[in-house]
Amino acid sequence: MRAEIAGENPTPLERLLTERIVSQWLLVETLDALVSVQLCPELPPEKCAPMSYLRHVFRWQESASRRLFAAIKALATVRRLQSGIPSARCMNVQINVSAAHDGDAVS
Handedness of CA 14, 72, 22, 5 (dihedral sign): negative
Domain boundaries, the chain: 2-101
- Which pLDDT does position 42 carry in this prediction? 76
pLDDT in tens, 4-60: 998 888 999 999 999 999 999 999 999 988 888 777 777 777 777 777 888 888 899
Q: What is the DSSP string of 14-70?
A: HHHHHHHHHHHHHHHHHHHHHHHHHT-TTS-GGGSPPHHHHHHHHHHHHHHHHHHHH
Alpha-carbon torsion, ordered 17, 22, 23, 27, to 10 deg: 130
Q: Bigger pLDDT: 67 or 39?
A: 67
pLDDT at residue 101 tops 90: no
